[in-house]
A and B are shown apart, each in its own frame.
Chain A
Amino acid sequence: MDLIESYREDLRFARRPIARVLLALLVAGLVALPWFAPDHLVFLATLVALYSIGVMGQNLLIGYTGQISFAQAAFLAIGAFTFGHLRIWGLPFPLALAGAGALAALVGVLVGFPSLRLKGPYLAIATLGFGVAVYQVFVNFEALSGGRTGLAIAKLKPMFGLSAAHTQYYVYLLLVTAFTLVTYNLVSSYVGRAFVAIRDADLAAEVNGVNLTRYKLLAFAVSSFYTGVHGALYAQVLGHIDPQIFNLLESLTLFVAVVVGGIASIEGSILGALFVIAVPKLLADYRELVPIIYGLGILLVLMFEPLGLYGGWLKTRLYFRNWPFR
């Protein structure tokens, strides 16, 4: 029997024992991954980790707050180039990362201002325009982008006797864990409730004391911070960045990850990141099919499983919980 005896217990993270066991197994598996998995899988896991951060950020904005945005690539670029320049100026990795996120958040607030007036598709178009503009700025201003040669970024130094790739994997695993926990905490706090309230009924949120301006801008700031950090971590993995990487398709990739993974779900964000990393890898020989799979993915999700991959997992869980009844 599952009895909750206090409000505090009700608010606990991973309250059910089974959830804790599964979580522990997952963490143990991820920590042990480099010991049994080949290096290219560890590299893919690194990519999933960094994409998860960006997708979670976008999910906070699109899924939780309901502000549809297509400016993801712009924030990735801002994060990546800020990080690149700060590293070249000699800042250590954590500071450069924080700087990249902070600048992206600042720009995010500016991009958020149209959201105070525009809703739904109109906001999507405005942010799309911003994404294209930032792309053009980076392509055309060589001082920002390092020109044709782009920016070269020094690799992370190996630590604790691990190989460089494994060090990077563990750093990214730590970061994605921290971001995931913070996201869980935010979403279950007054901030998350204000975000969802704005999405579900903005007028009612307002007459209940939620300052729309403040929370819409906060959603843009937080999500851009996440996306900026994603851009920085991506730059670190690539070791070399040029503006061509951050095109419209990259925005769409994050959007696809949010929708296919599951709107307004943290687990879904991680599954979505897995999806957009795994699909291009599995279709390495048929690159041209990737956008088709993405488009098909969105269509199928919207038609059959509005909560995405996470919704599928919920149903599976329910099936086993109720087994043998159905």
Chain B
Amino acid sequence: MAGLLEVGDLSLAFGGIKAIEGVSLSVLESETLAVIGPNGSGKTSLFNCITGIYRPTSGAIAFHGASLLGHTPDEIARAGVARTFQNLRLFHNMTVLDNLMVGRHLHFAKNLAAAALRLRAEEIRHRSRCEEIIEFLNLEPVRKSRAGDCPYGVQKRVELGRALATEPRLLLLDEPVSGLTQEEKEEFGYWVHEIRGRFRITVLFVEHDLRFASRLADRMVALDHGVKIAEGTPAEVQRHPEVVKAYVGN
């Protein structure tokens, strides 16, 4: 069975620097796949290729049978791929609620005349979807706060909520728990687990916290210097000699 996302022999080079070299991986429907690897191993570059921010030098990316290559990020979002960023990219001057409503943007009918005349039936419908996510992520107290004023842990949640609001089929999380306290990591683990169980969303995530990653992931892929060095269950990958070498040296 072909996976939901198929990355085939993907390469990305910036001049002489090869960020990704011939990486192939497939993400199966409704699984959680973790991508691990030391700094600079090409994990975020891989995400940027999938979401259309970078144009890969060669290779193929297919989502649900259709190629994502050559499509703009907003088209890929409409196809059902959502992501969060490693260094948060929230809309700082908007409220938390409006951040989530931007996530709903691609579901709007986009009737300019209705917008200008303040016909708000559609707005209200999307608002209630956002409220479901707000409730799920315990964002009620900060609903009307300026996103930039929220503490870091809350901002991470807002970004997750914004990605969920697009109703993706595949969710890419770039280091979802970096910089969080142990308690916040536990919460986040619960949400990532629930996203899969409740919303039936396939999750592909990059994480440095190996304990967190191996607890949540069904399978794991390890990258080093842009090359895939191991793939398998979390336990297999972490004991793989190449992975040990990449992390702790010989």
A291 CB to nearest B CB, Å:
30
Does B162 touch A at the CB level, under 8 Å? Answer: yes
The segment out of B6-14, B15-23, B109-117, B207-215 that lies at the interface is: B109-117
Does A140 touch B at the CB level, under 8 Å? Answer: no
A8 touches B94 (CB 8 A): no
Contact of B93 among A185, A194, A200, A212 (CB under 8 A): A200
Distance in angstroms between the alpha carbons of A189 and B112 in the assembled complex = 9
Chain A residues near B104: list those with CB within 8 A: 190
The A195-248 residues at the B interface (CB cut-off 8 A) are: 196-197, 199-201, 203-212
A207 touches B94 (CB 8 A): no
Distance in angstroms between the alpha carbons of A188 and B98 in the assembled complex = 10
B89 touches A197 (CB 8 A): no
A8 touches B53 (CB 8 A): no
Chain B residues near A13: list those with CB within 8 A: 118
Does A186 touch B at the CB level, under 8 Å? Answer: yes
Chain A residues near B90: list those with CB within 8 A: 200-201, 204
Contact of B117 among A7, A185, A205 (CB under 8 A): A185
Does B128 touch A at the CB level, under 8 Å? Answer: yes
Chain B residues near A194: list those with CB within 8 A: 102, 105
Does B120 touch A at the CB level, under 8 Å? Answer: yes
B118 touches A8 (CB 8 A): no
What residue of chain A has the Cβ atom nearest to residue B148's Cβ? A200
Q: How many B residues face the partner with a CB closer than 8 A?
A: 40
- Residue among A191, A197, A205 having the largest count of chain B Cβ atoms under 10 Å: A197
Given contacts A13-B118, A207-B77, A208-B106, contact A7 B91 (CB under 8 A): no
Distance in angstroms between the alpha carbons of A193 and B105 in the assembled complex = 9
Given contacts A8-B120, A206-B72, A207-B73, contact A200 B108 (CB under 8 A): no
Distance in angstroms between the alpha carbons of A208 and B104 in the assembled complex = 8
A206 touches B73 (CB 8 A): yes
Contact mask for chain B residues 64-105; partner A; CB cutoff 8 A; 1 contact, 0 none: 000000001110111000110100011111100010011111
B91 touches A207 (CB 8 A): no
A209 touches B78 (CB 8 A): yes
Distance in angstroms between the alpha carbons of A200 and B105 in the assembled complex = 16
Does A293 touch B at the CB level, under 8 Å? Answer: no
B102 touches A210 (CB 8 A): yes
Does A11 touch B at the CB level, under 8 Å? Answer: yes
Does B124 touch A at the CB level, under 8 Å? Answer: yes
What residue of chain B has the Cβ atom nearest to residue A212's Cβ? B74
Given contacts A205-B102, A207-B83, A208-B166, contact A189 B94 (CB under 8 A): no
The A84-123 residues at the B interface (CB cut-off 8 A) are: none
A210 touches B74 (CB 8 A): yes
Chain A residues near B105: list those with CB within 8 A: 190, 193-194, 197, 208-210
B88 CB to nearest A CB, Å:
9
Does B238 touch A at the CB level, under 8 Å? Answer: no
Chain A residues near B102: list those with CB within 8 A: 193-194, 197, 205, 208, 210
A190 touches B91 (CB 8 A): no
Does A300 touch B at the CB level, under 8 Å? Answer: no
Distance in angstroms between the alpha carbons of A8 and B124 in the assembled complex = 7
A209 touches B77 (CB 8 A): yes
B91 touches A203 (CB 8 A): no
Does B184 touch A at the CB level, under 8 Å? Answer: no
Distance in angstroms between the alpha carbons of A206 and B53 in the assembled complex = 9
A211 touches B115 (CB 8 A): no
Does A26 touch B at the CB level, under 8 Å? Answer: no
B85 touches A204 (CB 8 A): yes
A207 touches B92 (CB 8 A): no
Contact of B115 among A8, A10, A189, A207 (CB under 8 A): A189
Chain A residues near B89: list those with CB within 8 A: 201, 203-204
A157 CB to nearest B CB, Å:
29
A209 touches B74 (CB 8 A): yes
Does A299 touch B at the CB level, under 8 Å? Answer: no
Does A164 touch B at the CB level, under 8 Å? Answer: no
Given contacts A193-B102, A209-B105, contact A200 B112 (CB under 8 A): no
Does A182 touch B at the CB level, under 8 Å? Answer: yes
Contact of B53 among A11, A196, A205, A207 (CB under 8 A): A207
22 pairs of residues in contact across A and B, judged by CB atoms under 8 Å: A7-B123, A182-B116, A185-B117, A190-B108, A190-B110, A193-B105, A194-B102, A196-B91, A199-B93, A201-B89, A201-B92, A203-B73, A206-B73, A206-B74, A207-B77, A208-B102, A209-B77, A209-B105, A210-B105, A211-B72, A212-B72, A264-B93
Q: Which residues of A come within 8 Å of B, CB atoms? A: 7-8, 10-11, 13, 181-182, 184-186, 188-191, 193-194, 196-197, 199-201, 203-212, 264
